[in-house]
Amino acid sequence: MSEGSFTKVTHESWFSRIRGAFKGILIGLVLFLLAFPLLFWNEGRAVARRKTLEEGGGAVLSVSASSVDAANAGKLIHVTGKADTRATLTDPIFGVSANALKLNRVVEMYQWEESSESKTDKKVGGGTTTTTTYSYSKTWSDRAIDSTGFNEPTGHQNPGSLPYESTEQIANGVTLGAFVLSPSLLGRIQSYESYPVESSLPLPTQLIGRAQIHDAGFYIGTNPGSPQIGDTRVKFLVVRPTEISVIAAQVNDTFAPYAATTGGTIELLQTGIHTAGGMIERAQQSNKMMTWILRVVGFMLMVLGLNMILKPLSVVADILPILGRIVGAGTGIIAFLLGAMLSLGTIGIAWIFYRPLLGIFLLVVAVGLTVAIAAKLRGGRQPSAA
């Protein structure tokens, strides 16, 4: 719920916009050029990861977690079982204890938060008027919100820092049967769940008279039903002993990344009991997903860069706002089509290097798209028949 707002109106001249647009060309050029190595590198990364996982799928040995076989030293093994620990983790300030793999303290403070909404109107002559409305609301946040930078700080001051930090404790010597989990594998277990604070737990000495146990955690403030700025709540999360599946190299009684002959490494962990084949397949799917994510990122960088490079054209045309909108739409379409063409071309060249047959096909598609765009542009310039 919004609790107060502040409106600011700013004006920018056409000459100022032109200067800004030309300065943006350099940033756009950097983004545009950055997209090429990113797209090329991503295809190589994807192929190398696929080959590494294929090699791992053919080399992995499924072994029992009940004992460590020295004959498997250095080999890629698949182990399933319960990640367990005898350790009891205790929060040093609040005294909360749990037999767990991880114990997290989550601290949130009630604070002011600023949001904004802007509307820009173009004026004849190329200038703009921007009306920005800043709204202020109260929210729980796990980070300190700096209110000194608010556009209307009066009446919206935050304390500046949280009274306690959010922390994470990790148990030592977590076992998987006869094996000991490496820190890197333990870090991948993310099956957090809420850990309620017992109502009978005594308050820490420094909190007596200032806090209470509320909603399965600690509440530092007067009334949880009517929080005030600066009130703090502290809750806890745990990762309990849980079933996991691991694929990694066996090193003594623990694990390390397996170095494949392709140059990549394999170190996989999934919660639950899974077959080696299922884990490799899931890793392959994750690799495909990451490949597409990076392709989209590279394409968007290219389009964004081209838009910034072409931005001066629409700003110049903004002397007449309707003309500026037409030119802006046109440059946006050009940036999109050029970005698509160049992205496909870059991926195609990378595939010729990494996957020749697919690369040639993709280059043919890119060339066809280029020819189609060129023909369309030529057709648009031809005068109509009398």
Task: Please write the tens of the pLDDT for every residue from 143-155.
Answer: 999 999 999 888 9
pLDDT at 194 (0 to 100):
96
Does pLDDT of 380 surpass 60?
Answer: no
Strand locations in the chain (E):
2-12, 61-62, 76-84, 89-90, 97-98, 102-122, 128-141, 167-170, 175-176, 179-180, 193-194, 211-214, 217-220, 232-239, 242-251, 254-256, 258-259, 265-266, 268-271
CA angle 97, 100, 102 (to 5 degrees): 95
Q: What CA–CA distance (Å, rounded) separates 344 from 349? A: 9
More confident residue, 161 or 358: 161
In the chain, % of residues over pLDDT 90: 65
- The mean pLDDT of 344-351, rounded to a whole number, is 84
pLDDT at 2 (0 to 100):
53
**Whole-structure pTM value:** 0.83
Contact by Cβ (8 Å): 253, 264 = no
And the tokens for 343?
A: 């992205």
- The mean pLDDT of 276-305, rounded to a whole number, is 96
pLDDT at 359 (0 to 100):
63
Does pLDDT of 305 surpass 80?
Answer: yes
Does pLDDT of 376 surpass 70?
Answer: no
Q: What CA–CA distance (Å, rounded) separates 333 from 157? A: 45
More confident residue, 290 or 366: 290
DSSP-derived secondary structure letter, 73: T
Across the chain, what does the average pLDDT equal?
Answer: 90
Task: Please write the tens of the pLDDT for every residue from 80-137.
Answer: 999 999 999 999 999 999 999 999 999 999 999 999 999 988 888 878 888 999 999 9
Q: What's the gap between Cα 79 and its chain centre? A: 30
pLDDT at 386 (0 to 100):
40
Does pLDDT of 289 surpass 70?
Answer: yes
Q: What CA–CA distance (Å, rounded) separates 72 from 252? A: 9
Does pLDDT of 364 surpass 80?
Answer: no
pLDDT at 26 (0 to 100):
94
Contact by Cβ (8 Å): 116, 150 = no
Query: Strand pairing of 97-98 and 102-122?
Result: unpaired
pLDDT at 385 (0 to 100):
47
Does pLDDT of 374 surpass 80?
Answer: no
Task: Please write the tens of the pLDDT for every residue from 201-235.
Answer: 888 888 888 889 999 999 999 999 999 999 999 99
Q: How many helices (H) and strands (E) does the chain have?
A: 5, 19
Residue 321: pLDDT band (50, 70, 90) is confident
Residue 261: pLDDT band (50, 70, 90) is very high
pLDDT at 1 (0 to 100):
46
**Residue 108 backbone dihedrals phi, psi, to 5 degrees:** -130, 145
Does pLDDT of 363 surpass 50?
Answer: yes
Q: Which helix (H) or strand (E) segment is 247 a member of?
A: strand 242-251
More confident residue, 31 or 350: 31
**Residue 59 backbone dihedrals phi, psi, to 5 degrees:** -105, -20
Task: Please write the tens of the pLDDT for every residue from 64-83.
Answer: 999 999 999 999 999 999 99
Question: How many of the other CB atoms lie within 10 Å of CB of 167?
Answer: 13
Does pLDDT of 382 surpass 70?
Answer: no
- The mean pLDDT of 358-383, rounded to a whole number, is 65
Does pLDDT of 298 surpass 60?
Answer: yes
